Each structure stands twice: as C-alpha cells, then as structure tokens.
Chain A
C-alpha cells in the first residue's frame, strides 16, 4: 500500500514535472505568435512613435526655431586678449660732429625698442619704436648751419618719410648753439625734433636713450592713453583730473549758442560767422581725419542759468561758485534744442551774457579765486563762458544797450576747451625740453598723430567691448534672432579689427584709424540692430503653456505604449531564455 502510494506520488511528481515546462513553452509560443490583433496593435503603436519622432519632432523644431546665423565666437573671444603693436618709425639723423668717429662707422643701422603700455584689461599694447640711424645728407647739414632752430627747421628739406605717425629726430652736436645751453632737446610743431648729441665711449647708448625719450613724449604717452581709454587703465595710471574726452564718433555737431537772458537791457551782437571762418574752420580742418564736423550757431533769448549767482559785496559783483556749476547747465539745455537732423554727438559752446541785474558775473574755482577765463567746460558736453558787459555801457538812458562781443577773446577760450574735449591736453614736457609754439591752426602735427593713435586704440577697445558683450548676450539668450546682415556686420567688424592691428603694426596710422572706425561702425550696427529684439519677449514658460495642452495628451499614450512594449519584450526574452 505504502509502496503504491509512493509510486503514485512519484508518478504524479513526474507528471507535474513533465506538464509544467510544456505549459510554459506553450505560453511563450503563444506570446511569440500572439494573436494577430495584438501584434497589429503593437505595430500601430510603433508606427505612431516613429511618426512622432521622424516627422513631428523635426517639423516642430523647424517651424519654431529662431534663425541664428553663425557668428565668429572664437575670434570674438580672442579679441579680449589682443596684442596691439604700435609701430612708430623714427628716423634719427646725425649731424657731423654729434657722434664720435668710431660710432659713425657703424651707421646706418636700425634698432627696435619695444615698450609695454600697461592696461587694465587683457588687451596688450606695445609701442615699438623703429629707429633708423643714419648720417645727415648735405642738404640737412646745410640747413642746420642756420642761426636759430626755427630757421634751421624751416630750411630742412621735407623728409622722405613725413607720413602720419612717423618722427624725424636730428641729433645735433653737443655744443651746438642752436639750443639754449641748459636745454637738451627741441620739439618742433611738425614731426621733427632736435636732440643734443654726446661724446665718449657710451655716446651711442646715451644718444639712443635721449632719442627714445623724445620719441616717447611725442608719441602715445600714458596720459593721452589715459584720456582715451578712461577706465580701461589701471587706477594709478589714470589721469589725475579724470578728464573724459568725447567718445570717438563718425561725426560731431558743434553748436555755438549765445545766451542772452535779458534782451531788454542787452542787444548782443556777435560776429560768429567771421569767428567761425577765421578760428574754428582752420582748427577743425586739421581734424578732417577724425570725422565730419558740422557747425551752427544760435542765439537764445530768456535762457537763464539754473543757479542764482551770489552777490559779493566786497567787489560788488556776482559769483558762481565751483560747486554750483553742475546745476547751471540743465535748465539751459532744454532750450538748446538737440540736434534733430543727425545722431552725432553735439558739442555745445555757450556764451552767456548775464542779465543786467546779475552783472558782472564771475566764476569762482574751488579755492574761491576768480577763474581768469571766466569759463568752464563740462566733459563730453561742451563749454560755457560768461561774458560780462562793460559796466560803463550802462551809463545811458537808452536801453537795450548794444554789446559787441569780442570774438577773439571768446574763441580763444572755446578753442582751448575744444582741445580738451577732443582729448588733446597741453603737452607736459621735461624741464630741459624746448616746446615750439603750435602753428597758426593751433595744433602740432605730432599732437594730431597722437590723437589718431589714441582714437584708434580707443576704437579697438570699444569694438572689443561691443562684440564681446554682443556674443555673450546672444549666447545667454537663445531666443534672439540673428539675421544674416547682423552676422555679416559682426564678421566685418572682426575683420576690420584685424586690419587695424596689421596696419598699426605696419605703421600706417591713417589706414589703421579708418579700419578701426569701420570696425566701430559695423559693431555698433550689429549691436543695435532692432531685429535682435523681435522675439526677446517670448519667454520659455509661455511657450510651454501653449504647447502643453497639445503635447501632453499626445505624448503620454505614445510613451506608455512604448514602455509597455519594451516591458513585454523583455519579459518574452526572459521567458525564452528560461525555456531554453
């Protein structure tokens, strides 16, 4: 009985063991060869998914993408760490007797001196003085036999290399009487300078140093650079008075305004037409390279200053204290009339004839002393001069009093202010230098070169900042459309920057300046292109608010069925493995 039971159990066990694998395989087979309905459903789901991925996604992507032309990001990021070399060709001419005979035999030769100009940013600036030493020709020898240095300079044959940005330095014998005994060098109004020679063993080195010193003070000095670059220089190198000249621009509008707040007592005449012709035009004609200048003048009546002057009983006059000067301009400016017809910066020169009740009016400086010129200037804005009417004129009964403005006195002040506004400070020279008076136009040639250098470097810095911030902005906000013309302007700007650097290194100042100006124009055009703003106000969360009602109900079933299919497949694979 027991045996029977055991046998029975064993059989049953065998049967169970037999039956189970069979059933599993059947199930797996059934799953593999599922009923066609299920397979069709699976295929349909897969079709949907592929359609969505292959067709829907690209379509959505294509129709909603913002057009972004490619930009030279790599080159723009390199702009930040530019290396600018300013090549200054200096021809050094030795007169007979200025050099020991031994050294004379070494001539002619060329040496190059490079000097780092420290800047705050990564940009590197190097001035490179390429000094070509040679002996003087017979013409030059003859010219320098003259009695005075001015005559000598005038008699000098115009040098071969009198191009913008080059310098000619003549080395005269140490004991020469052309210069006063205590003076070491003379800097002329043109691109010419004279340096005393030396004798002895180290003559050439000593002379070389003197020449270099002169060349440096005639080319881009730190103070000029400070004025041009403003806050891009390290703190300690910045100009002491923090002058900010006008920003480089394609053109400037100069407006001379005569303010007559009291037309009942004063009938002011100023010969501005004549003054412009004889003073301003010649001065500005020198700046032709800098940009276009347009000028006009106007007379404004009843234009008051914003500050009531204080009465000073001691001198029975009225004073404007230095601390109140910043408040003077604002109310006047509303009347000046911004330049309607162009976008160029306006430089204002105001001649203020104080009302009779407030005259004479004097401007006081910080220490309370009267300003000799009775004028002040506001950086990047213009200048104001107070013109007092001669009190004797009031001894009549006939009003208004006729006032004829002395334009020479006024224009002297305005031209001096204009120099400051353009960033041409009065050159500071060591004590043993003789500085020639500027020619009649009011500007020395090398000062103009210096200005061009400064402007070129300033332009480069401006372009760098503009392009870098544009690239940064475009990188940060992916919504901005970059049109092809914007991109082409950026390319133009980058190319122009490289041109500028090449030209500067080659010593072609004029073409370098023009290239830098082009770079500024293109970069500004790209930066201020209105098309950049078109889609800016379409934030991402709003986009999602619009997409979700459509995409959520469509995407969720696809995802779910995909997950289901994947899970099923995995299960089948496992089952088959088990069966095998």
Chain B
C-alpha cells in the first residue's frame, strides 16, 4: 500500500540516528532549488506549478542557538519548539477537476488543510497541535486558529509520513481541513516572504497576486519533512517545499485559442534565476508532440528536453535552465510561449485511472445522503483505494446505512475504521479500504440526519450552508508504463513529492469536492421574540390569575345618572306611576 515506502527507510534512519554530528567546516549547509512546471491541460487550460525547495543539512530538533540562512526562521523555530516531524499545510481556492485536467502533481482540498506528524517525544499532542495551528494561523494570516477538536481527526491509514520516519504510530498525527477558508492575497504575501529570494528575483518574480488569484484554481502549500542527506541516507536533512499551483483558463480568456505565453499569464517575464538557488529550471510539458506529429511549438526553443515517467505516464518536457546564461542569450528576459500547430480535438484525452465525485442528496431539512462515486477507468487492473471521510458532528451518520456497490453488487471493504462523532467534541471519521475492480464505478453512500445547533453555534451566514470537508482518496494507481526508480536528489522536484515504492504503480492522493449542506436554520431574532412572546403569555395568564385571586366580586345595584332618573320620572308621571 501507500505506506510501504516510508517503512523501508526506517531501518536506515535507525542506523543514522547515532551519527548525527554536524561538521562545522562545511560553510553552507543549505541549498535552494526552484522550479516551474507548465502543463497544457487537456481542457485547454494551463497549469503552472511552482516549487521552491530549501534543503537544510541540520538537526533542527536541538534546542539552543540556531543559525538560519535560506531556511525561514519562523518555521524553523516552530519545528524545534513543537517537535514537529512533518508538516503539510495547503491553502487552496477552487477545485482541481481531475477528470478534465488529469492527475495533478499534488492536489489539495478547497480551503485550508493541515496535517502534522509530531515526534514521539511529544507528550501532549493535542496541546501542541492547538498551539501549532494558532501560530501557523498567525504566520500565514489564515483562520487556522479555528482548528479544534471538532474538526481534527486522527486518520489511521490515509496519511503516512512522506519523509523519513521513525515510526508510524498514528497517535502522533493530526489532520484537519477547513473547507470554509477563503484564500487571498493576504495568505500569499506571508508565503512569499518565506522564500529566500522573496519576490525580488528568480521564478518568484512571476508571483503577482492579482494574476494568481484570477485563475480557476489556486493552491499554495508548505511541506516540511526530514529527508535523506545523501544517497546512503546516513544523516537527516530538513526539506521545506513551498509549492504553488495555479490553473489559468487560457482557452476561454484567449478567445478560443489555447496558445499562451508567460507574459499573458503572469504579466511578467523571467529575467534571471534567484542568485541563491543551486538549480533553477522551467519545464514545459510537450508530451503532445509525438515523433511523427508535431502539434505544438514552444519558443524560444529549449536547450534540452527531459523524458520521464511521471504519474504513471511517459512525459516529455522542454527544459530551460535559468542558471545557464544561454537561456537568456537572445533577449534579456525569458518569455516562454507555446503555440498549437493544429487545433486539438478536445475529446481525445485520456481520463485518469482514478477519479471521484461526491454529492449530497435527499430533500427536506431532516435527513439526507452522502454519496461518493469512485471511478476506476483502468481497462484491466483492479486496485484498492483508501477512502477517508470526515463528517462534522452535526450531520449524524447512520453507519448501518453504509452501502458500497460496484456494478450492482455489494463491495465489502477489507478494512474499516469508524470513529463516531461526539456532539460538539469530535467529528465522524470513516476510513475504508475498498477494492475497485477494473473499469468500474463504485458508489459509497451513507445516510445522515441533520442536527439542530444551538443558536450561538451557527456561522455568521448560516443560510449559506455548512461545509463538509472532501473525502480523501489515497491509492497506488497502476502505471501505464513501467518506470525505473531514478536518483531522488537529481530528478525534478515535481516527481519527488511522494516516495516511489515500486515500478508498476504510483501514489495518488485525490480530494473530492467539498459539500455544502443546509441545516435547519432558525430566525435569529428568535430569542428576543421568544422572550417577548413568553413574557406576554405569562403576563396575561398571571394578570388574570392575580385578579381572580385578589379581587372580590359582588353584585352591585346599577347606578343611574340624574338625567336617566329625570327621564324615567317624566315617563312615570305620564303613566301615572309614582316617581322614583
């Protein structure tokens, strides 16, 4: 499974823990690599993935004096103070449409996602988690401080350490998603500040907020993990990866043309590499160009090309080395352009082997059904998928209604971990290992009841609905072509996010759409209305009750006024009756 990869490294780590000495003779123990991958997507959009990797050959765990150079101080302090083993934070706006855009290098759920592995020396993990999320919230100006026990779960199998790990006791893992979080410039600025070259030089010049947020998908992330220092893995280095993925809808904004250039997308061009970077590359995916059929053209012509098996498929990339002065030889700046030679038929793209959808069904405000549909489009290979669902406590899941059907037949999961919710304390956690047969559609559905919240628990705009965080799918998806494990340190950054375990499959983590569920929402002037109404009722009842008890009632002669008596006497006199 997916978690096999780090296990192989444990033994190595055990060996190296004893010999973690620092050599002070080495002047620089940190290095920076920056990379931009431009991928024309099957739908005509363009995705741009920036990766900035800072590697620091230092034991961050030691308390004491630390000297930071390329590694940002604020994150370094965080790791050593809270004994963080691994930290993954992503802030995303929009949704990666796997079916139309293909497999991403690294997907992230809409909103904010944070998962952290703590070291096994941490005593009170929950406290550290709380404090850590608060500090991160301050660093990235995001509402991560809203992470509390009601949205934190401890997945048992889905999230395994991506770097070196001593053990995988999931009690040291915390995972939380805030689907409500809106990502904006205020989150990008602190993220850019962590880059050694800030946004003054190198690829980061392209990171102009007004363009980056004018996209259909924007995801920025920070990944910190320990990695092997060298191929023998005798000591540990810390790796900080800052990734940023955006999808420009070049097709619709370009009047139906799929051509693009750096300047049109970012309204900037690249003029130099970051002088601190040891490697600065731009990759453009030109896999559509086959030998016999040249469909697209990149200009300026690349200095070299790179072929590799990426995400299970053979891809070809045009490579631009920014540290090589030849790249800028023609002009002072590099404005990459891609032109399609012939119009592509948009339907001919290969749908990824694994993709999923999720929706909520049912009517009324009492019950409903959550459904996740998993597609395996591989023609002949079945593979298992780990499905993780976190559902907030105010949707009360009926676990007995859980049905998994594939091709009309029931599909029994081989592993189920279910942790029921506790009101106002923790969410539902459902993890299942489901076998997806070849070329099949599997539907996982579960019914729920909507709870009534206390009136202070509603969000400021309750009629908007309540978000349910996306399901997470982790799977080893079969490769289309076999691959040889390449040297990890030399391969481009985009291919080294997940550890590669074997040659026939690759690890994929997908997120479905977040859901928006309406809860029965009261009228919020209600408390005062209720007070007034009950008070009135009480007052009326009380008033009549009081009167009944305290007043005396007796018959009284009707008193007549003088005028009435005078009139009566006149009538009586006429009738000859004695007057009153």
Contacts and interface: CB of A to CB of B under 8 A. Distances in A.
Nearest to A48: B546
B73 A296 contact: yes
Q: Which among B74, B550, B552 has the greatest number of chain A C-beta atoms within 10 A?
A: B550
Interface in A24-40: 35, 37-38, 40
Contacts of A37: 552-554
Nearest to B136: A340
Interface string A543-572: 001100110111001100100000000000
A86 to B, nearest CB: 36
A550 B535 contact: yes
A340 to B, nearest CB: 5
B64 to A, nearest CB: 8
Contact of B77 (A35, A42, A297, A341): A341
A339 B532 CA distance: 51
B275 A41 contact: no
Interface string A330-358: 00001101111110000000000000000
Contact of B538 (A335, A550, A557): A550
Contacts of A35: 552, 554
28 contacts: A41-B550, A41-B552, A42-B550, A44-B550, A48-B546, A264-B201, A269-B27, A295-B65, A296-B66, A298-B67, A301-B197, A302-B198, A302-B201, A334-B193, A335-B198, A339-B77, A340-B78, A546-B528, A549-B531, A549-B536, A549-B539, A552-B539, A553-B535, A553-B539, A553-B543, A554-B538, A557-B543, A557-B550
Contact of B276 (A263, A272, A276, A553): A263
Contacts of A400: 275
Contacts of B552: 35, 37-38, 40-41
Interface in A297-346: 297-299, 301-303, 334-335, 337-342
Contacts of B20: none
Nearest to A260: B276
Contacts of B485: none
Contacts of B200: 301-302
Given A269-B27, A273-B24, A553-B542, A48 B550 contact: yes
Contacts of B542: 553-554
A301 B198 contact: yes
A255 interface: yes
Given A48-B546, A337-B72, A297 B78 contact: no
A297 B68 contact: yes
B135 interface: yes
List the 7 closest A-B pairs by CB distance, nearest first: A553-B539, A549-B535, A302-B200, A298-B68, A550-B535, A341-B81, A44-B549
A40 B80 CA distance: 80
Contacts of B70: 299
Contacts of B547: 557
A45 interface: yes
A557 to B, nearest CB: 5
How many A residues touch the partner, as a band?
A: 35 or more
B549 A341 contact: no
Nearest to B542: A554
B191 to A, nearest CB: 13
B412 interface: no
A561 B547 CA distance: 10
Interface residues of B, number: 47
A276 B551 contact: no
B196 interface: yes
Contacts of A335: 193, 198
Interface of B: 24, 27, 65-70, 72-75, 77-78, 80-82, 135, 138-139, 193, 196-198, 200-201, 275-276, 528, 531-532, 534-536, 538-540, 542-543, 546-547, 549-554
Interface of A: 35, 37-38, 40-42, 44-45, 48, 255, 263-264, 269, 272-273, 276, 294-299, 301-303, 334-335, 337-342, 400, 545-546, 549-550, 552-554, 557-558, 561
Interface centre among A37, A301, A546, by most chain B C-beta atoms within 10 angstroms, is A301
Contacts of B543: 553, 557
B69 A299 contact: yes
Query: Which of B75, B81, B275 counts the most chain A CB atoms within 10 A?
Result: B275
B196 A301 contact: yes
Contact of A41 (B27, B75, B193, B551): B551
Contacts of B193: 334-335, 337
B539 A550 contact: yes
A297 B67 contact: yes
Contacts of B535: 549-550, 553
A493 B276 CA distance: 52
A303 B196 CA distance: 10
A557 B549 CA distance: 12
Given A263-B197, A549-B532, 18 more contacts: A42-B550, A45-B550, A48-B549, A263-B275, A264-B275, A272-B67, A273-B24, A296-B66, A296-B73, A297-B67, A337-B74, A338-B74, A339-B77, A340-B78, A546-B531, A549-B531, A553-B538, A557-B543
Contacts of B74: 337-340
A264 B277 CA distance: 11
Contacts of A550: 531, 534-535, 538-539
Given A37-B554, A301-B276, A340-B135, A296 B65 contact: yes
Contacts of A337: 72-74, 193
Contacts of B531: 546, 549-550
A296 B77 contact: yes
Contacts of B532: 549
Contacts of A338: 74
Contacts of B68: 296-299
A67 to B, nearest CB: 20
Nearest to A303: B198
A42 B65 CA distance: 84
Given A334-B193, A553-B539, A298 B73 contact: yes
A38 B553 CA distance: 9
B550 A341 contact: no
Query: Which of B81, B198, B547 has the largest count of A CB atoms less than 10 A from its CB?
Result: B198
A546 B528 CA distance: 7
Contacts of A264: 201, 275
Q: Which of B73, B78, B201, B534 has the most CB of A within 10 A?
A: B73
Contacts of A552: 539
A400 B193 CA distance: 23
Find the residue from B69, B75, B528, B535 having the highest chain A CB count within 10 A.
Answer: B535
A299 B539 CA distance: 73
B554 to A, nearest CB: 7
Contacts of A342: 81
A557 B547 CA distance: 9
B242 to A, nearest CB: 15
A553 to B, nearest CB: 3
A296 B67 contact: yes
Contacts of B549: 41, 44-45, 48
Contacts of B66: 296-297
A295 B112 CA distance: 32
A269 B28 CA distance: 10
Contact of B546 (A255, A272, A557): A557
Nearest to B201: A302
Contacts of B139: 340
A299 B276 CA distance: 12
User: Which among A342, A549, A557 has the greatest number of chain B C-beta atoms within 10 A?
Assistant: A549
Given A263-B276, A341-B77, A276 B65 contact: yes
Contacts of B196: 301
